[in-house]
Amino acid sequence: MDEIKMEREIKEMLHQCADELHAPDSMQARVKFALNNAPARKRHLWSKRFVAVAAVAAIAVTGAFAAGGMGGIFSKGWSDQRLDLSSTQAHLADAGVALTLPDKIGEYTFSYGSDVDTTARNGVGETEKIAEVDATYTKDGAELNLSAHKSYTVFSEDEMENPVPATTAEVNGVTLTYRDAHYRFVPDDYEKSDEEKQQEKNGELVISYYGSDEVEDKMFQSVLWEQDGATYLISGFDTGLDAQTMFDMAAELVK
């Protein structure tokens, strides 16, 4: 089995693990961004970057939330899919999302689009299939992801709750929600301090034990909103983007 095929199977396995667990929509969108953002190219399978990406998926659905239940979101994407702007726009329409994709978001320029097939299941076993489209924008090598899909209707308000502290703003009657989530990737033998345990409970920190050989911290910035039955998320790792900057980006799309 070649490395690229094996990597895809590992990503799918991580998604399947998520199917048996609970996480709110906004964090699941981050999970899907992380899994689908790694391009398919020849490289060592267990590179630090791939391990970090996989860890975000696993910890996002297991470590950061304690709502319980057997609900979750199963999503499948293709890391080697590269749609141009017009094709991505067409796929958005097919997914039932009424959004005109811009060629730029802030100073980030459209690079490619991709599809994500999603099945959501709530705590009592009800399911819902959703088609999602992701668009990746780049600036000087940095990446920003725009994710869009019809909003989930299968989850209760409690199941959609996100403990990560948020900042909100109103644009044209639409609520924008900004979060700056802290991930810490650690070796398998790492012992959490009492302070870290408390930070996890407060939604201030997510600790991952998935294969990192050193302690590494990453920040995940995102802005989430819902409009006309669709959910949108602009997000990225270590972007340095503050709430107002991301609100301004989102405002360009909220009509």
pLDDT digits (tens, 9 = 90+) for 94-112: 999 999 999 999 999 999 9
Q: How far apart are CA 184 and CA 191, in angstroms?
A: 12
What confidence score (pLDDT) does residue 75 get?
66
The overall average pLDDT reported for the chain is 74
For the packed helices 3-18 and 25-36, what is the interaxial angle rounded to 10 degrees? 170
DSSP state of 248: H
Question: Using H for helix, E for strand and C for coil, what is the string for 117-185?
Answer: EEEEECCCCCEEEEEEEEEEEEECCEEEEEEEEECCCCCCHHHHCCCCCCEEEEECCEEEEEEEEEEEE
% of the chain with per-residue pLDDT over 70: 66
Q: How far apart are CA 181 and CA 164, in angstroms?
A: 7
What confidence score (pLDDT) does residue 247 get?
97
What confidence score (pLDDT) does residue 20 get?
41
Q: How far apart are CA 76 and CA 236, in angstroms?
A: 19
Domain housing 25: 3-251
Per-residue pLDDT of 133-152, as tens digits, reads 999 999 999 999 998 999 88
Question: How many folded domains does the chain comprise?
Answer: 1
More confidently predicted of 32 and 71: 71
Q: How far apart are CA 183 and CA 146, in angstroms?
A: 20
- Position 63 pLDDT exceeds 60: no
Per-residue pLDDT of 193-237, as tens digits, reads 999 989 888 878 877 776 568 898 989 898 999 999 999 999 888
